[in-house]
Amino acid sequence: MKGKYGERCGQSNDCCSWRKSARGYRSGASYLLNSTRRRMARGKKRKHRPAPAARGEAGPKKDARDRDDGWVDSLTNARFDAYYKLQGIVPDDEWETFSKTAATPLPVTFRLAGSRIIGQEINNIIREVHIPALSGMVVDGVQVEPPKVIPWYPGGLAWQFNIEKRVLRKSPEIKKFHRFLVYETENGNISRQEAVSMLPPLFLDVEPHHKVLDMCAAPGSKTAQLVEALHADDLTLGSSTPSGFIVANDSNHKRAQLLVHQLARLPTPALMVTNLDASIMPNLLDPQRRPIHYDRILCDVPCSGDGTTRKNPGIWKQWAPANGIGLHGLQVRILVRAMKLLDHHGRIVYSTCSMNPMENEAVIATVLKSNSDFELVDVSDRMPDLVRRPGMTTWKVANQQLEVFDSFEQYSELTKNKSRTKGAPLTAGHFPPEPKDAEALHLERCMRVYPHLQDTGGFFVAVLRKKADRIPPPPKPANATVKEEPASLKRALSAEPAVEPEAKRPKLDAPVDVPAEPTTDVAGATTAEPSAAPTPVSSEDNTGLLPSKPPKEITFSENPYTFLGAENEVIQECIKRLSLLPSFPSDRVFVRNPTGQAARALYMCNEQVKTLILTNDYQKIRLVHAGVKILEKQDAASFVSFRILEDGVAPILPFVEPDTIFNADLDVLKILIMEYYPAITKFEEPYKTLFEKLELGNALVRFEATNTPDATLTHSVILPLWKSGVSVCLMIDKKSKSALSFRVFGEDITPLGQKLREQAEAKAAAAAEDGEDAAPDVELQDGDAEVDMEAAVGADVPIEGVAPETSVNVTVET
Task: Note the pLDDT tens digit of each residue in 112-153.
Answer: 998 788 888 899 999 999 999 998 888 888 888 899 999 999
- Count Cβ atoms below 10 Å from residue 758 Cβ, excluding itself: 10
Burial tier of 239 (Cβ tally within 10 Å: 0-12, 13-18, 19+) = middle
Q: 211: part of which helix (H) or strand (E)? A: strand 211-214
Question: What is the pLDDT, as a whole number, of residue 544?
Answer: 30
Name residues whose C-beta falls within 8 Å of residue 302's C-beta, 6 or more positions apart in sequence. 18, 216, 327, 330, 331, 501, 502, 503, 504, 505
Question: What is the pLDDT, as a whole number, of residue 553?
Answer: 52
- Helical H runs in 416-515? 435-441, 451-454, 487-494
Question: What is the pLDDT, as a whole number, of residue 36?
Answer: 44
Question: What is the pLDDT, as a whole number, of residue 531?
Answer: 34
CA distance 365 to 492: 11
Question: What is the pLDDT, as a whole number, of residue 618?
Answer: 95
pLDDT, averaged per 10 consecutive residues of the chain (814 residues), comes to: 40 39 40 46 48 44 42 81 96 96 95 86 92 88 89 96 78 86 90 96 97 97 96 74 96 94 93 97 95 98 96 93 94 98 96 98 97 95 97 95 93 79 85 93 97 98 86 54 48 42 37 37 36 32 34 73 92 91 95 88 96 96 96 75 91 92 95 95 95 91 91 91 92 91 91 83 78 50 34 30 36 33
Can you state the percent helix, strand and coil of the chain, rounding each to 5? 35, 20, 50
User: What Cα–Cα distance (Å) separates residue 484 from each residue in 63, 265, 461, 481, 516?
Assistant: 57, 43, 29, 9, 8
Burial tier of 774 (Cβ tally within 10 Å: 0-12, 13-18, 19+) = middle
3-state secondary structure of 495: coil
611 in Cβ contact with 627 (< 8 Å) = no
Q: Which residues of 727-747 are buried (b: 16+ CB within 10 A; e: fewer)?
A: bbbbbbbbbbbbbbbbbbbee
CA distance 796 to 463: 48
Question: What is the pLDDT, as a whole number, of residue 59?
Answer: 44
DSSP string, 70-106: S--S-S--HHHHHHHHHHT-S-GGGHHHHHHHHTSPP
Task: Note the pLDDT tens digit of each residue in 308-331.
Answer: 999 999 999 999 999 999 999 999
DSSP string, 371-408: -TTEEE---TTSSTTS--EEPPS---EE-TT--EES-H
Instruction: Mark whether 605 is an active-site residue.
Output: no
**Which of 9, 15, 303, 353 is the catalytic position?**
353
pTM of the predicted model as reported, rounded to 2 decimal places: 0.79
7 in Cβ contact with 312 (< 8 Å) = yes
3-state secondary structure of 14: coil
702 in Cβ contact with 664 (< 8 Å) = yes
Q: Sign of dihedral through CA atoms 132, 135, 136, 141? A: positive
Helices 734-745 and 666-674: crossing angle in degrees, nearest 10, is 140
3-state secondary structure of 120: helix
CA distance 197 to 784: 12
Say whether domain 195-412+426-513 belongs to CATH 3.40.50.150.
yes
Question: What is the pLDDT, as a whole number, of residue 557?
Answer: 85
Question: What is the pLDDT, as a whole number, of residue 725?
Answer: 86
DSSP 8-state secondary structure symbol assigned to residue 655? G
Please report, in range form, the residues annotated as the binding site for S-adenosyl-L-methionine.
216-222, 250, 277, 300
Question: What is the pLDDT, as a whole number, of residue 84?
Answer: 97
Question: What is the pLDDT, as a whole number, of residue 688?
Answer: 95
